[in-house]
Each structure stands twice: as structure tokens, then as C-alpha cells.
Structure 1
Amino acid sequence: MKKLYDAFSALYNGDNIVKITELRYIPRWLVILLDVLIIVFSILLADFFLQKLHVKNNFPQYSTENTLIIVAVNVLFMFVFKTYAGIIRHSTFFDFFKIVLSSGSTLIAITLFNYGTEIWLGKPLYLYPNLFLYFFISVTLMFFFRMFTKQFFNILIDFKGSSTKVRVAVVGVGDASVSLARAIMHNPNYPYRLEGFLTKRSDSNKAILLGHKIYNSEHFFKNEKLISRFDAVLIIKEIMGKRELEEWMTLALDKGLKILKAPTLSKMRDSDLVGGIRQLQIEDLLNRRPIKIESLEVKSRHSERNVLVTGGAGSIGSEIVRQVSQFSPSLIVVLDQAESPLYELELELLEKFPEQKFKFVLADISNNYRLEKLFETYNFSMVYHAAAYKHVPLIEENPHEAIFVNILGTKNVAMLSRKYKVNRFVMVSTDKAVNPTNVMGASKRVAELFVQSLQNSEGNTTKFITTRFGNVLGSNGSVIPHFRKQIEKGGPVTITHPDIIRYFMTIPEACELVLQAGTMGKGGEIYVFDMGEPVKILDLAKRMIKLSGYAPDVDIKIKFIGLRPGEKLYEELLSNNSTTVPTHHEKIMISKDPLMGFEEVEILCQQIIKSAVKRDKLQVVRLLKNIVPEFISNNSEFEVLDKKQDDSVDNIVTTNID
């Protein structure tokens, strides 16, 4: 009652729109009162029409009593069917149906009563045409009252804060698009205002949907005056493919419109709509179709088993932990040497998976004594080895650290897995291990060779599996977060080379494939993933700048800074000497790379680890090149070693000729 008084008081005082739209619903007693007034008015109107047709009532002296009887019966059925209970501003066909039931029941009851009076008194108390006329008038007016109130509130809501709301055009006229548009229209607190619909169809130009026009996209984007009435284009990502998504993005951004995306309403609660609508990100354009993972097989490998994840606080490791947690393992040991990220992950996982048992271990994988205690204690069934140093320029400056972590650390975890008869050891590798041009990639290739060699070593029962893929979106230190920070600062966006290209994959997608490959392997395989089409980094930067609302090289400059030490223009998933074998999973292939025997690679690893302890950079890299002959340094101080090797070959050839 107080809210109603405040609203109409505000109406009188001039602050009319804001206060009335804050009124959540009209009180039920007021709805009943207004419906009673409509009933009385409908009876009088029906009598008026019949009088104009010169039809006289049978008992005009009891007209007041007759009216009260109809009102009483109708009010009774209004309480039975609760026609007053719905919120008027959100009335639907269901509310109309309740009104028809209430008034229809009144008509039937009064008709039966009227038939009884006709038998008793010789003529009916009410004229039958009068009753039917009353029924149609009352139903129409009560429903009109609700629709008028609903539309009145919608108009006020549209008007309220219209200058601050984002004017959107919803793409599509299907059920999902209409549901989204209706949700925006009926919620005054949303910062969006529906202005129309966009479609590629040309047969809807003159159609109206939810009171708004449907525009053909070709006509719309050619009409500058029409575009000025909109701020953004709103898409539902799930209902369109990547190519269609890119097409809408290009059309909108070229005309200065923002691109907003929303999930389908079935994928979120209605209250989450505002949080669900956000600006389109570059990751949305790079995502591929969801992967079909054979979850039953994966679940059986993890359910009620002890699992170790090294590098568990990193981008890949933490996602592996999240996904494995869904399969109810007995214990997940999360190991990492990064204290703060490990603690943050602990807080997240304990909240998200309160029933799952975790053990968070702060340790360095190069410390074999620390690791062995874990293997002794927990009897692991699965080991996911994601711990590694991966930043190319940093590792190029500190090659001995790559030896300690990427080679010695991998050796420790793999040897302990063999010793304690772990069922499966899955190593996460990188496409930079293929024809490496930097220390990081070469060290990962040595790790691959060592892991593969263990498969056929004496007494081994563990299945050693390697997975190899390219860049993952949003991982620590990846290019997209880096570009985003540069754009937020106003630029410039720095790119090493205009022709550089990279493969991209989402973190969840990569980890799903790691889990799948881990269940498929019989041991000794290197699994490579279908990374889709490569992306030119220059095009990526331009798209990100446009998505942020800026013009490339106008608002945000793009600067080329040259290739970093060890960096190459394009990455490869397969070496020159390898072939691939398909698997039953369309996204996963097996790479047949050259192998090394365990004794040979063990001796070479011991030599390079000893060199790393002495901190002799050149000697470390020289030994790396001996183990990985295809390792040719690029834009690096270690290129001198490749020249010396070439000179040695030339001298040998010259001597033989002489």
C-alpha cells in the first residue's frame, strides 16, 4: 500500500516515471476492486445495449439485487481461480485463460440459476442474451485492463533511463532470439533496450516482432541513418557457426557498432541475463566445435584412483585437475613450485568440489627425494606431467633452468612412475618441440625422447604417453592477455613480425584431449591434436583492437619489434621425419617420430644435467643440439654453434675430397 501511495504521490509531484517503475506489482486488493468495477460496468453496458434495442428486463424492480447476485457469483469464482494473483505487468495467456474460466463458470452458474427461476416463476430472472453479452464484455474488459497495464509499464520502463541504456539489435528471429529479446523488454533493470531485430532473410522487411521492426542485414548496414539509432548488435553464439559469427562481427565493427553476445536462456537462469551478456571476445572467434569426449572410459580410468598432477597450479595443470575432479578419484595430489597460484587454486577447488579429497604439495620436480616420498605414500594410478618452463625468451637466456625442470624434472617424475608401477604417465608437450629453434623447444624434445624410451625399458609396466599441441587461449603469458593489456593502456600493440602465425586451442579443449589421449594410449605414443586453421597474429591484433571499439593504426598503433630470440614464424606439430597415424578420435593423431634407446638417452641426459650444474650456457646448448640434431637456433646467440657445426662438416668434406 505504501509503495502504491509513494508512486502516485510521485506522479503528482512530478517524479513520475522512476517511482512508478519501481512499483513491483499492483496490490491484490486493488486488482479485485478494479475487476469488480469492470463487472458492474459490464452489466450496465449489457443492459444499455439491450435497452437501445428496445428489449425490456423481466424484473426491472429487482435490477440492483440482480446485479449484486452476478457480482457475488463472479467474485466467488475469481477467488476460486485466483484471477487476482498474477502480476499484472507480466500478464500472459495463462492469465487470460483464468479470466475465461472465472467468467465462464459465472455464466454457467447464473444460467442454471436462471433456468431454475424460469421453472419456478414462469419466466427467467435474467434475459439469456443479456448474460452472454455480459460474459463477452467482462472478459474483454478485464483482459484489456491487464494488457493496458502491462503495456503502460513497458512504455515507462523503455522511457526510464533510455538515454543511458544500450540500444541493441538482436540477431535472428528464431525462438532463442525472441526469448532473449522478450527477457530484455520485460526487465527494467537491464542496461539494454531492444530496438529491433536483424536477419539475413529478405521476406521479413515489413514484419513486426514484439512491437519492433525486423531489418534485413544487407539493407540495414547500408543505411547510415538507420545505424545511428543503434549502439550494439546482440548475438547468441550457440546458434551460429564460426564463419557466420565472423561475418556479423565484420559488418558491425565496420559501422562502429559494438558486438555483444549472450548464451541461450536455457543455459542460464533468467536473473543471470545481465551477467550473461558481455562484449564479444577474440576467444569466441577462435573457439571450435565442442569436443566429444568418451567420458565413460575416462571416468573408469580415474574413479576411485589416486592421481598426481605436476604443474597443477598452471594453466593446463589446473584445468586437468578441474576436469579430473568430475570423475570422483580417491585423491588428487596437486604439485607445483609456485606458492601463490597453488594457494589460490586450493581455495577455488575446495569451494567448487567440497566432496573431493585433495592434497596440495609445494615442491620442485627437480628434487627427486621430495618426489619419491609422494610416490611411496600415495600409490598413484595416473600421473599427468604438466610442469615445465615454457617462456621462450627467458629460457633462451637461462638454458640451464630448462635442463633442471624440463629434462631432469621430467626424468624424475617418469622414473618414479616406472619404479612405483604407475598405470599411466601422460606428459604434456608442445609444438615447439618439433624442429626446435629455441632452447625451450629442444629441452621439451629431449623430455619426449626420454619418456618414449622408458616404454620398452627393462621391467617397465607403466604406459608412457606424450601429448603435443600448440598455443592455448588465455594461458599464462599467451599473446591474447598480453595484447589485451596493451590495448587497455592505449597501445601500441607489439608484434614480433607481420607474417608470424600460430595455432590456437582453448584450455578446456586441450585438457579434454589430454585426458582422452591418456585413456587411448597403449604406451610409447606421441599424440598430436588437430589444432584447426593457423591464425595470423597481425589479423588477431587487428580484430582485438576493433572488438575493443578502436581503429587499428588510428586509435591504437601496431608496432613490429622483430622476432625474439629463439622464435620462429610458424609452429609445426610434426617433424620432417615423422608420419601420422589416425585414431578413432577425429581430433587426435599419433606421430611416428624417430626414437632413441633408453641407455643412450639416459647417458646423454646425465651429461647435459652435469653441464647445467656448471652453468656453462654454450656447453649446455651444444649438448642439446647433439641430442636433437634438428635443433637449429634462430635469432639467438647460440646460432654460432650451428655455424661451427656447418664449418666442421665442410672441413670433413674438403679433407675427403683432398
Structure 2
Amino acid sequence: MRRRLRSVALPLHRHSMPQVGIDAALVALAYFLAFRLRFDNGVPDDYADLQAATIAWVVGASVVVFTLFRLYEKWWRYTGHRDYVNIVEAVTVGTLFVPAFVALTQPVIVRSGRGDVALTVPTGVLALFFLLTLTLVGGARFVSRAVYERPPGGFRARSDARRVLIVGAGDGGRLVLREILRNRDLGLDPVGFVDDDPTKHRVRIDGVRVLGRTDELPRILDEAEPDEVTIAIPSAPGTLRARVVSACRTRGIPVRTLPTVFELLQTGGANVVRQARPVEVEDILGREPVRMELDRVGRYLDGEVVMVTGAGGSIGSELCRQISRVAPRKLILLDHAEDNLFRIQRELEDDRHVHPSTLAVVLADCKEGERMREVFAEHRPTVVFHAAAYKHVGLMELNPVEAVRNNAVATRLLARVAGEHEVKRFVLISTDKAVAPATVMGASKALAEYAVEAAQDRWPRTRFAIVRFGNVLGSSGSVVPIFRRQIARGGPVTVTDLRMTRYFMTIPEAVQLVIRSGSLGQGGEIFVLEMGDPVSIRHLAETMIELSGLRPGEDIAIEEVGRRPGEKLHEDLFNPYERTQPTPAEKITRAERDRLDPAVVEAMFDEVGLLVLEGDAAALAAKVSELTGMRASAALADPPDAPGPQAGRAVL
């Protein structure tokens, strides 16, 4: 109850006036009927006088109470179950006003043999007034919503309406159905539900029957003959979406899906039917999603000053979106790409959940030490997510100096500045390509991991952590955008090796797990996100072609062009010398390994830094490959279980 009274201003607007008038009439009617029903033989004169003397006060007080309890903040047709609880509270307070007012004002005095006595409202009248007011006030809202959702005369689809089958009879499915029933202009006619819950089988939901389970979908499609299918399960696993798409594709029926939970959060969940979009490869290949309460797992960021580097990139921008929802004191967006930074700035400023005063937008390059120290001194971040990195393997092979400068040397610099300013937490976004690296890009990220581990020993007051994961669908370094462009041009879709597999995860899930990992570290850990089963790149290409309504190998050719230098057939998430350890968090494990001596890391970066300054690309590529390879060779020669030359250290 106290949460409703925190605002002094009365939440009224011009659209509230008709609602206030109707409620006033209903309260007056309830008060009048309460007296009439209490006295079977007519209301005695004294009580009739009491009723006449108090009815205006009761109506006025009830309207004020209803206003304070915010019953007029929304149209009645949008009344939900929480609003009905609010109505009960408001009517209770309004009813208690009646005896209190009568006791204080004593409007009617009755003469008796014992002297003058102030007349009170009978308990029966109060009980009846409470029940009648609750019924009339709540009932008016219920009727308004019922009429809005299903107009008088029932739902009549337009003659040209498209027949739609809804997969999922849960909250998402019912929401879709209500939107269709409310909005005839959508031109949709719901023909049934499909749901795997056996308790819903053959049940009618708002007049629409559940026709069967998803494994019966081929039969249901043949019998119902829908024009389209809508998957109304925002958290549906990729396997279910793939099963639905497969059954519909053979019959030429288009499939649409509701946005994911993350997308619905970003849009506020309004007008979900119009937000339904075609099924994409991310929906099918994305593994069963991890469901976390972001408010809970990201609570450690509440009130913190959080910096995200690479804020305009695919991972960095999603980090900004999700972090902005856990109430940081300030969110610092840092990027050296002007267009990307401007795009995420405008997106967050337009988000009604984000107050512009909590955003700080910094155009800067992580490779510039003096600039980074200026930024840290000005904004004093307490948590840093370092997502800025070059990702394109082929491009980095052609530009090894920039790859190492940006991915390795800049990470070492940023970790040093964070340690000097006693940042509480520093999280590096790493990659599976840092495992047994075979390319310059992978080796540069492996060096970045070494730098962060060494920083933990040098600045123990900062909790450094590394989060390693594989490919994310739709990121700037992903193969998915390349395949999309090739399909749009009519093919061919080029695959370097038909045997190749990769791990894939959706960007929102990866970022959610990154945020969770940031709360786990005690200092220097490497957290590895469980990526599920690896996906065949050939299967990925075929799936994307089929989702485009084409046939792989016939409409769009798939060509094998040969692997590039250093490109692996299969990626790994752990080095051979790392031990897999569990963590308290679902889908997050820890890679345990002996840390390099910080002095060794410093010597490594001295050599690398000199080659970067000289711009000797060939020598630099050879050196980083040598350095990362030496660690693996040393670790394999001295297994983790065997006592090394230094306890807890690996020496090159």
C-alpha cells in the first residue's frame, strides 16, 4: 500500500475525468444500495438522514482515495491483475473513511431516554458498502477490458484475413491472440494453438482451441490449412523453432516468430504482433538459452561507474544495453569509431529506461596511454569491461602490427591504468581463437590474456578477470553477415572447408554471461562460456539458404574455396594445459592454469612493443607466434600435476 502513496501530485489528466465521474456515480450507488439492502422494511428516518448527510462526503473521499492509489493512471481497458489488487486496497481505505468521518463529525444526533446519542453507521451497511463498491468499481473495469478485447458480437475476421496458427499457448500465445482480437486491421484470423503441455490439449483459450503438440504439427498444418504460423514463445529453444520451420517449409507456409526476451525488453513489449519477424538463423542455431534474472546477477553494478570499451561494437553495444538496465551510477561509452559510438549513444538516449544524465560518451583510442589516463582521472570508473578488439582473422593476418598493437599492447596499457586507479573490477573479453593460437589475431588475444593475468599480480586491489567464448551470431566478426550478403547476391555461398565446425552463441546471451562472470572473479581467473555443441559451417550455410526460401545446391550453390593459412577445422575453448573447473554460475566454467611470472610477461611485451614501434610486420608475426607457442610447449613438457620449478608459476 505504501508504494502507491509516494507521490504528492495527484496522477490525473483530462482523460481521467470520465473515469472519475463514473466511479463517483458507482460509489454513490453502492452507498445508497447498502442502506436499502440492510433494512428490509425500508430505511428508518434517522438512518435516511445519516445517509443523506454523509453520501457527498463518502463519494468525494472515495474519489480522492482512488486517485491517490493511482486508479486513473491508465485506461480501464488495460486493467491487469495488479490493478485489481490496487482496487481492493483503495476500496478498503475508502470504506474505513465512513465510520471515521461519522465518529468525528456526528452528523445525526438521536434523542433517547438516556440523552442525546450520535448515530453511527451499522456494521452491516459498511460490509455491504465494501462489497458493492468493490463489485461495481472492479466490474466496470472488467467489462471495459472484456469489451475492448472482444467487441460485442464477437470477433469476425475480414474476408481477406490471413489464417494464422499460433505455436505456444502460454503467456506469449495469449498475448498474440489478444492483440489479434483487439486489432481487426491486422487482417489475421486465429485458427488454433499448438502447445506441448498435455493439460492444454483440446482446451479453448479465449475461444480458440489448442489443436495438438508440436510433434503433430504436420497433421495440424494439413487439417487447419493456415496461411502463416507464428511462434509465440520468446524463450523457445532453437530445436523447437527448427522443427516448426522444417514442417512449414515443406508446405510453403511462412513462419514468423515473436522477438526474443531481450528484444522485447528493449522495445517494452508493446504491439507484439507487429513486432513478429521472420525466423532467422540465430533463432534456429542458437542453443537453448540461459535464463537469468539480469537485475539479480548484475546487482554488483548497481551504483557503480561502469566503463565499456569498444562500446559501439557488436559485443560492446549489447553490454551497454544490458548494463544500462541494472542502474549504474554512470555508464561510460568509450570507442574510437565515431559512427558506432554515435549510434549506441542515440539508442540509449532514446531508451525510456535510461536517464541521459547517467551516460558519458568518450571518443578515444585505448592505445593512447595519456588519453586513457585522462579519461580515468575524469570519470573514475569502478568497473571496466574491455570489449575493444580487432576480430577479423584474415584482415589481421594482413595487418599484424595493428592486430598486436590494438589487441595485446592496448589491453596491457588499459589493465595498467585500471590498476593504477584502483578500479574494483576489470573484465577482458577474450576469444576461443586465443586457445592454441594459429593466427596473428588469436596470438594477440592470447598475449592480452597474459597481460591481464600479470596485472592481477601487480595490482591485487583490482579484481581482473578474463571471459573467453567462441563465435557470436551476427557479430561483426561472424560469418553470418557474409553468408547473408552472398545469398542476397544470388550466391554462391563460399565455405573454406566443408568439414569445418564452429561454436555459436547469440550476442545477448553471451553478454549476459559476461556480466555474470564479472561478479564471480576473485582475481586473475579465466572464465569460459559453455557454447553447446559445435555447428557445422556447411549446415549453417544450408540453413540460411533454406530460411531465404531457396534450395541449397540448386538455387544457391555452396562452394568450397580452401582454408586460409592458420585457419582451424575445429576451435577449442581450453588449452591442453588448462584444467576445467566448475563455477557457481550456470553455463560458466573456469580454466585453471599456472600463471606466467610477471617478469616474463614484461619481457615478452618489451620485445613485442619494440617490434610494434619498428613496424616490422614479419618479425612481429613470427615473435608472437613463438611466444604463445613456447608457453604451450613448456606447459606440456611440465604437466600441471607435476611440481614445476616454481610453485604456482610457469617459467619460459
TM-score of the two chains, using structure 1 as the length reference: 0.66
Report deviation, 1:272. Answer: 0.8
- For the structure 1 residues 422 and 491, does the alpha-carbon distance in structure 2 shift closer, same or farther, using more than 3 Å as the test? same
Structure 1 CA distance, aligned partners of 2:368 and 2:208? 69
Alignment of 1:453-464 (within 5 A): 453-457=454-458, 460-464=460-464
Q: Helix, strand or coil for the counterpart of 1:158?
A: coil
Structure 2 CA distance, aligned partners of 1:215 and 1:295? 36
Matched, 1:305 2:304: yes
- For the structure 1 residues 485 and 374, does the alpha-carbon distance in structure 2 shift closer, same or farther, using more than 3 Å as the test? same
Instruction: Please tell me the residue identity of whatever aligns with 1:312.
Output: A
Structure 2 CA distance, aligned partners of 1:515 and 1:208? 42
User: CA-to-partner distance for each residue in 1:327-360, whole Å, 9 max, x for gaps?
Assistant: 3333222211111111112212222222442222
Alignment of 1:450-529 (within 5 A): 450-457=451-458, 460-529=460-529
Alignment of 1:206-221 (within 5 A): 210=207, 214=211, 221=218
Q: Which has the larger radius of gyration?
A: 1
Q: Which residue of 1 aligns with 2:592?
A: 592
- For the structure 1 residues 555 and 192, does the alpha-carbon distance in structure 2 shift closer, same or farther, using more than 3 Å as the test? farther
Gaps of 5+ in 1: 1-145, 633-658
Report deviation, 1:579. Answer: 0.7
Q: Helix, strand or coil for the counterpart of 1:532?
A: coil
Matched, 1:256 2:255: no
Instruction: Please tell me the residue identity of whatever aligns with 1:246.
Output: A
Q: Helix, strand or coil for the counterpart of 1:437?
A: coil
Q: Helix, strand or coil for the counterpart of 1:321?
A: helix
Matched, 1:554 2:554: yes
Report deviation, 1:262. Answer: 3.1
Q: Which residue of 2 aligns with 1:93?
A: none
Query: What percent identity do the matched residue pairs reach?
Result: 34
Q: Which residue of 1 aligns with 2:390?
A: 389
Q: Helix, strand or coil for the counterpart of 1:628?
A: helix
Q: Helix, strand or coil for the counterpart of 2:468?
A: strand
Report deviation, 1:193. Answer: 3.2
Structure 1 CA distance, aligned partners of 2:626 and 2:435? 15
Instruction: Please tell me the residue identity of whatever aligns with 1:465.
Output: A
Matched, 1:279 2:275: no
Number of aligned pairs?
Answer: 479
Question: Is this contact kept in 2: 1:328–1:356, CA < 8 A?
Answer: no
- For the structure 1 residues 324 and 177, does the alpha-carbon distance in structure 2 shift closer, same or farther, using more than 3 Å as the test? closer
Instruction: Please tell me the residue identity of whatever aligns with 1:331.
Output: K
Structure 2 CA distance, aligned partners of 1:207 and 1:298? 40
Report deviation, 1:612. Answer: 2.1
- For the structure 1 residues 373 and 532, does the alpha-carbon distance in structure 2 shift closer, same or farther, using more than 3 Å as the test? same
Report deviation, 1:620. Answer: 0.5
Structure 2 CA distance, aligned partners of 1:378 and 1:204? 55
User: CA-to-partner distance for each residue in 1:437-491, whole Å, 9 max, x for gaps?
Assistant: 110000100110111012223x642222111111112212322222223223332
Question: Is this contact kept in 2: 1:307–1:329, CA < 8 A?
Answer: yes
Report deviation, 1:171. Answer: 3.2
- For the structure 1 residues 304 and 560, does the alpha-carbon distance in structure 2 shift closer, same or farther, using more than 3 Å as the test? same
Structure 2 CA distance, aligned partners of 1:331 and 1:211? 48
Q: Helix, strand or coil for the counterpart of 1:359?
A: strand
Structure 2 CA distance, aligned partners of 1:218 and 1:625? 51
Q: Which residue of 2 aligns with 1:170?
A: 166
Matched, 1:608 2:604: no
Structure 1 CA distance, aligned partners of 2:468 and 2:217? 46
Q: Helix, strand or coil for the counterpart of 1:237?
A: coil
Question: Is this contact kept in 2: 1:204–1:214, CA < 8 A?
Answer: no
- For the structure 1 residues 207 and 293, does the alpha-carbon distance in structure 2 shift closer, same or farther, using more than 3 Å as the test? closer
Question: Is this contact kept in 1: 2:234–2:260, CA < 8 A?
Answer: yes
Matched, 1:180 2:168: no
User: CA-to-partner distance for each residue in 1:60-80, whole Å, 9 max, x for gaps?
Assistant: xxxxxxxxxxxxxxxxxxxxx
Q: Helix, strand or coil for the counterpart of 1:476?
A: coil
Q: Which residue of 2 aligns with 1:427?
A: 428
Q: Which residue of 2 aligns with 1:345?
A: 344
User: CA-to-partner distance for each residue in 1:227-282, whole Å, 9 max, x for gaps?
Assistant: 8x433222222475443332222221122221122369999989713323221222
Structure 2 CA distance, aligned partners of 1:253 and 1:601? 55
Structure 1 CA distance, aligned partners of 2:378 and 2:179? 55
Alignment of 1:182-197 (within 5 A): 183-185=179-181, 187-197=183-193
Report deviation, 1:219. Answer: 7.4
Question: Is this contact kept in 2: 1:166–1:232, CA < 8 A?
Answer: yes
Structure 2 CA distance, aligned partners of 1:201 and 1:460? 52
Matched, 1:444 2:440: no
Structure 2 CA distance, aligned partners of 1:529 and 1:319? 17
Structure 2 CA distance, aligned partners of 1:512 and 1:484? 26
Question: Is this contact kept in 2: 1:197–1:214, CA < 8 A?
Answer: yes
Structure 1 CA distance, aligned partners of 2:360 and 2:275? 34
Q: Which residue of 2 aligns with 1:331?
A: 330
Q: Helix, strand or coil for the counterpart of 2:374?
A: helix
Question: Is this contact kept in 1: 2:440–2:625, CA < 8 A?
Answer: no
Structure 1 CA distance, aligned partners of 2:410 and 2:301? 24
Structure 1 CA distance, aligned partners of 2:317 and 2:456? 27
Instruction: Please tell me the residue identity of whatever aligns with 1:527.
Output: F
Q: Helix, strand or coil for the counterpart of 1:576?
A: coil
Q: 2:230 aligns with which of 219, 223, 234?
A: 234
Instruction: Please tell me the residue identity of whatever aligns with 2:564.
Output: R
- For the structure 1 residues 614 and 451, does the alpha-carbon distance in structure 2 shift closer, same or farther, using more than 3 Å as the test? same
Q: 2:239 aligns with which of 239, 243, 253?
A: 243
Question: Is this contact kept in 1: 2:173–2:233, CA < 8 A?
Answer: no
Report deviation, 1:398. Answer: 0.7
Q: Helix, strand or coil for the counterpart of 2:543?
A: helix
- For the structure 1 residues 606 and 180, does the alpha-carbon distance in structure 2 shift closer, same or farther, using more than 3 Å as the test? same
Instruction: Please tell me the residue identity of whatever aligns with 1:541.
Output: A
- For the structure 1 residues 213 and 442, does the alpha-carbon distance in structure 2 shift closer, same or farther, using more than 3 Å as the test? closer
Q: Which residue of 1 aligns with 2:366?
A: 365
- For the structure 1 residues 552 and 222, does the alpha-carbon distance in structure 2 shift closer, same or farther, using more than 3 Å as the test? farther
Question: Is this contact kept in 2: 1:396–1:566, CA < 8 A?
Answer: no
TM-score of the two chains, using structure 2 as the length reference: 0.66
Q: Helix, strand or coil for the counterpart of 2:290?
A: coil
Q: CA RMSD in A?
A: 3.5
Question: Is this contact kept in 1: 2:528–2:588, CA < 8 A?
Answer: yes
Report deviation, 1:429. Answer: 0.6
Q: Which residue of 2 aligns with 1:76?
A: none
Structure 1 CA distance, aligned partners of 2:597 and 2:380? 28
Q: Helix, strand or coil for the counterpart of 1:443?
A: helix
User: CA-to-partner distance for each residue in 1:581-600, whole Å, 9 max, x for gaps?
Assistant: 11111221110134211111
- For the structure 1 residues 150 and 419, does the alpha-carbon distance in structure 2 shift closer, same or farther, using more than 3 Å as the test? closer
Structure 2 CA distance, aligned partners of 1:545 and 1:516? 35
- For the structure 1 residues 214 and 625, does the alpha-carbon distance in structure 2 shift closer, same or farther, using more than 3 Å as the test? closer
Structure 2 CA distance, aligned partners of 1:220 and 1:523? 51
Report deviation, 1:509. Answer: 1.6
Question: Is this contact kept in 1: 2:334–2:362, CA < 8 A?
Answer: yes
Q: Helix, strand or coil for the counterpart of 1:478?
A: coil
Instruction: Please tell me the residue identity of whatever aligns with 1:380.
Output: P
Structure 1 CA distance, aligned partners of 2:492 and 2:268? 40
Alignment of 1:24-103 (within 5 A): none
- For the structure 1 residues 427 and 369, does the alpha-carbon distance in structure 2 shift closer, same or farther, using more than 3 Å as the test? same
Structure 2 CA distance, aligned partners of 1:224 and 1:519? 47
Question: Is this contact kept in 2: 1:467–1:517, CA < 8 A?
Answer: yes
Report deviation, 1:614. Answer: 2.2
Structure 2 CA distance, aligned partners of 1:481 and 1:604? 36
Question: Is this contact kept in 1: 2:483–2:493, CA < 8 A?
Answer: yes
- For the structure 1 residues 154 and 484, does the alpha-carbon distance in structure 2 shift closer, same or farther, using more than 3 Å as the test? same
Q: Which residue of 1 aligns with 2:620?
A: 620
Instruction: Please tell me the residue identity of whatever aligns with 1:334.
Output: L
Question: Is this contact kept in 1: 2:169–2:210, CA < 8 A?
Answer: no
Question: Is this contact kept in 1: 2:248–2:254, CA < 8 A?
Answer: yes
